[in-house]
Chain A
Amino acid sequence: LRRAQGGDQQAFHDLYQLHADLVFRRLTRLVGPVPEREDLMQEVFLRAYRGLGSFRGESAFSTWLYRVVVNQAYNHLRWRRRHPHDWQASPELDRLVDEHSSPETTARQRQRLERVLSLLDRLKPRKRVAFLLRVVDGLSMAEIAEIVDTTPAAAGQRVRHAQRELQRLVERERRKWSDNEGL
């Protein structure tokens, strides 16, 4: 890390190799399996490289990098509020369903993913990110607050609001559709 901070590109490449999987996984969790993940990942590492000088070791490097990931995710999710992603037509979801299952099971799995990702897309980026950090990563409010740069109380409020909003959306969907398997 110290060598990378000094501008040693080889050291930064080693950091990339160590953290690439984690960054990609975190981005996927936060923004979903969109084709733009590669670009976002590149941007995360570029920003990390250019901002290494500001890393003073007050937190773990992975936490600092998580902050960069979250900021990129915010940017992307804000852009996506204006340009919604069409999950129904998304070929990325085809790769995620179990291809060895029956066509009915595959279709059901796919439909479930589409539904969940569309629901999450309806949340505001800040609420979505806080909610996912809490529910999927299992982070404490203090950890979330550190990553999204806010107070633990504010992080808790975002998570609760997101949860309430999701529940409302699911109920609305249930009233709309009789088929509500999976949610």
Chain B
Amino acid sequence: MKASEESAKIVESIRDAVVATEGRGLDDVTRQRVHQRLVEHLDEPPRNNVWPVRTAAAALLVAGLVGVVLWIGGRRAAPTPALTLKHVSNQGHGLEVGTRTDELRVPDGVSVKAKVGEQGEVEAIGPARVAVDSATPGAVTLRLERGLLRARVNPTGRRFEVRAADVRVVVVGTHFLVDLRGGEPAVAVAEGVVTVLNKGSVGPRSITLHEGQAWRTGQEAAGPVPPRLAAALGVKPKPDPQEEARRHPPVLSQPPDFRSSRPAGAPAPPELLYRRAEAALRSGDRTLARARLEQVVRRFPDDKLAASALYELAQLAVRDGNPKLAQSFLRRLQRVRKDPSLHEPAHFLSCRIAVESGAMKGALECLQRFRRSYPSSPHDEEALYALIRLRLSRPGSCSVAAPLCDEYLRRYPKGDFARQVRRHRAECSR
């Protein structure tokens, strides 16, 4: 094969793969989440000018000085270490409170608490060694090389990961520990949900652990937290639920009360429940995700997260092939006045469900209403194309479809469906 052909083939292959990485693009919940975070940061008014010259000159001078100092010191500039030592049980081992580091070497008999940015807090119980694999505002990955690590991750924090031997523990808002003292990792959860990805050759590849559950390499399924780990985790060991049920059969069948495991007067915040639902979704546990989302809606109907939960529930119902249930969630979402920002995607999802379920009249009305209510919606192009398709599905309806085609081509000449719309338009002109 000629070199140019070879090169073209490589380029084509890379292009296909890069386009494939886009997947389904930006989902509505992410769009909304970023939007909410943006709203929180938009307090400062936009700057009207680029940097003033003096500021730029001062910045250059400072950068130059820093460069000279680093050059003299023979050091390379490094990113700020991710761990800030907060408490050391027995100082004097080179571990001082306030130190920032990317590696913790904790000697025997010493325990060190460190803050991990805004993500949360970890505690290494010596002898232990913990290193930061990577740390960004969005994700933190720690590596436990030996010993025991206890972690408390903020529910508002983003991705948090601990790696130990062949095991990866992925968490979103929780209190857990990873124990590598016996050589093989064990994971125990006091609060929240973690997903353990097992790259070893023994045991399941992925396992989801909930409150009061633990798992050790080699085990096929999660079990209750053993007393040794419960002590390290700072919780009371819970009896095996089956054993407990045998000893004390329930008198009344009551729905499980999430708050019962929390101190009185401290209900689980909606964010925590929502994060748990997200974690369950990520791990593929739809039943648990649905239960958590329903809890958010039931317990916090006035919270803005109730709208997000209803939207997720509708999407789950669509995936389960239950369009009626999905529509009922979306109708409820439209009644949540606290956060109307999800009304637009919910309305569009409702129209898509109507189109897919073949309810032509309902779908037509839904799409027309949607376009009237949200003329500058990012979904308008798709809604317009769906309308054209619906109109054309009836024979002899070109007179209605043609103006819609014209509108599409005027508004979205380079749109995703422009080619098809041009073809439809040409067919109508014949």
Contact = CB atoms under 8 A, between A and B. Distances in A.
A96 interface: yes
B15 interface: yes
Contacts of B19: 29, 136
B17 A38 contact: no
Contacts of A28: 21-23
Interface in A60-82: 79, 82
Nearest to B9: A183
A46 interface: yes
Contacts of B170: 91
Interface in B118-148: 133-134, 136-139
A24 B25 contact: yes
Given A83-B136, A113-B20, 19 more contacts: A5-B46, A7-B46, A18-B376, A18-B378, A21-B25, A25-B25, A39-B158, A42-B38, A49-B42, A50-B44, A54-B50, A117-B17, A120-B18, A132-B18, A135-B11, A163-B11, A167-B7, A182-B13, A183-B10
13 contacts: A17-B376, A17-B378, A20-B378, A25-B26, A29-B21, A45-B34, A45-B38, A52-B46, A89-B168, A109-B20, A117-B17, A163-B10, A166-B10
A180 to B, nearest CB: 11
A182 B14 CA distance: 9
Interface in B1-51: 3, 6-7, 10-11, 13-15, 17-23, 25-26, 30-31, 33-35, 37-39, 41-42, 44-50
Nearest to A29: B18
B136 A36 contact: yes
B136 A39 contact: yes
B7 A25 contact: no
Contacts of A21: 25-26, 31, 378
A176 interface: no
Contact of B34 (A12, A38, A109): A38
B337 interface: no
A5 B199 CA distance: 51
A170 B20 CA distance: 19
B399 interface: no
A13 B35 contact: yes
Contacts of B11: 135, 163, 166
Contact of A83 (B42, B47, B134): B134
Contacts of B14: 116, 119-120, 135, 166
Interface string B186-210: 0000000000010100000000000
Given A20-B34, A42-B37, A89-B197, A53 B18 contact: no
Interface residues of B, number: 51
B377 A17 contact: yes
Contact of A35 (B41, B159, B197): B159
B256 interface: no
Contacts of B47: 50-51, 53-54
B33 A38 contact: yes
Contact of A39 (B18, B39, B137): B137
Interface of B: 3, 6-7, 10-11, 13-15, 17-23, 25-26, 30-31, 33-35, 37-39, 41-42, 44-50, 79, 133-134, 136-139, 158-159, 168, 170, 197, 199, 282, 376-378
A34 to B, nearest CB: 9
Contact of A33 (B23, B197, B199, B376): B23
B21 A113 contact: yes
A14 B380 CA distance: 13
Given A38-B30, A51-B46, A33 B138 contact: no
A82 B132 CA distance: 13
Contacts of B136: 36, 39, 79, 83
Nearest to A183: B13
Most buried by A among B21, B41, B44, B159: B21
Contacts of A89: 168, 197, 199
Closest 6 CB pairs of A and B: A53-B48, A116-B17, A24-B26, A39-B138, A83-B134, A52-B46
Nearest to A39: B138
Contacts of B197: 89, 91
Interface residues on A, range: 35 or more
A35 B158 contact: yes
Contacts of A13: 35, 39
Contacts of B7: 163, 167
A49 B46 contact: yes
A95 interface: yes
A167 B7 CA distance: 6
A9 interface: yes
A53 B47 CA distance: 6
Contacts of A136: 15, 18-19
Contact of A46 (B41, B134, B138): B41
A158 interface: no
A101 to B, nearest CB: 13
A161 interface: no
A165 to B, nearest CB: 11
A41 interface: yes
Contact of A9 (B42, B48, B134, B139): B42
Contacts of A46: 38, 41-42
A64 B45 CA distance: 19
Contact of B376 (A14, A29, A35, A170): A14
Given A24-B26, A167-B10, A16 B38 contact: yes
A38 B46 contact: no
Contact of B13 (A16, A116, A163): A116
A28 B139 CA distance: 17
